Structure 1
Amino acid sequence: MKTNDEIISDLNSLVNILNDGKKGYDSAAETTDSLELKAVFEKDSIERAAYAAELKAHIKTHGGNEDGNESGGLLGAVHRGWIDIKQAFTGNDNKSILEAIETGEKAAIEKYDGFIADYTDHADHLALLQKQRNGIQQDLNQIESLKAQFS
């Protein structure tokens, strides 16, 4: 069984992932010329910030500090950098933007799934994790649909 500090660390890692997602969506919204995609990206960015705030509040109930990096984690910075580099070569290709977001969202879902599977250690916030994971999955489904549209 995990210690309280380990549980707080797990939740902070999700806060980092959510911050990465927010920054990725912000970057994508600035990059695309499509008003439709810009609206989707801005909505999803706001949603990621709300999810992070929910987790930070829950971390406090565990007596921890929400030390999630507001700028996202190292992997997120690398991923956002990849989006920026790819855009320089593709001329703001919407399909490429959507593919990059798809990769990030799949990684987030994988991380959530790992913590949800560890339900004994995460029982008191399992419903929150499931709700957020399902929201990310819905957004991923929309991104995949949009990717097909922009192909």
Structure 2
Amino acid sequence: MENDKEITSELKGLINILNDGKEGYASASDTTESTELKGLFLNYAAQRSAFAEELKAHLAAHGGESENESGGVLGALHRTWIDIKQALSSKEDSAILGAIETGEQAAIDKFDAVLDHPETHADHIELLQRQRTAIREALSEIQTYHHRLENINE
């Protein structure tokens, strides 16, 4: 029972950070004028939403539930995604990409903290590893766009 509490708490934290990412990407998509980035951001927003849904199924299996669709308390802290708000107000793609990089790194750090206890999450460890890998790949792609944009602006 104690194990289920830890599992549900950690899964809720991951769901919150995924929802923060979904919201951040959706906001970034609404703000950028680049069609290429708009499509990329919408793709990652949908991916984060799907990841959250996958984790909600595991959360339910451990007796928890998450009705949260828009991030969490960690979001107040982690809303580095909402540093995106500042970046968005500038409407500069470079600032938006920088804020997204910070948000994605926060997500990876959260996944790493959970993955440090593989025995606790044995029934869904592969799912967590797959999602973490996808977020890492997204971060790499965002960094590539950011570097490309910075080189153009030099």
Whether the aligned pair in 1 keeps the contact of 2:22 and 2:44 (CA below 8 Å) is: yes
Distance, in Å, in 2 between the alignment partners of 1:33 and 1:76 is 26
Whether the aligned pair in 2 keeps the contact of 1:112 and 1:129 (CA below 8 Å) is: yes
Whether the aligned pair in 2 keeps the contact of 1:32 and 1:94 (CA below 8 Å) is: yes
| 1:1-151 aligned within 5 A | 3-67=3-67, 69-77=68-76, 78-88=79-89, 90=90, 92-151=91-150
What SS does the corresponding residue of 2:120 show, helix, strand or coil?
A: coil
The alpha carbon displacement at 1:81 in A equals 3.5
What is the number of residues matched between the two proteins?
Answer: 148
The alpha carbon displacement at 1:75 in A equals 4.2
What SS does the corresponding residue of 1:120 show, helix, strand or coil?
A: coil
Calculate the TM-score normalised by the size of structure 1: 0.92
* C-alpha RMSD of matched pairs (Å): 1.6
Whether the aligned pair in 2 keeps the contact of 1:27 and 1:80 (CA below 8 Å) is: no
Task: Structure 2 unaligned segments of length 5 or more: list them.
Answer: none
Distance, in Å, in 1 between the alignment partners of 2:71 and 2:133 is 21
Distance, in Å, in 2 between the alignment partners of 1:107 and 1:81 is 13
What SS does the corresponding residue of 2:98 show, helix, strand or coil?
A: helix
Calculate the TM-score normalised by the size of structure 2: 0.90
1:85-112 CA-partner distances (Å, limit 9, x unpaired): 2332x3x110100000000000000110
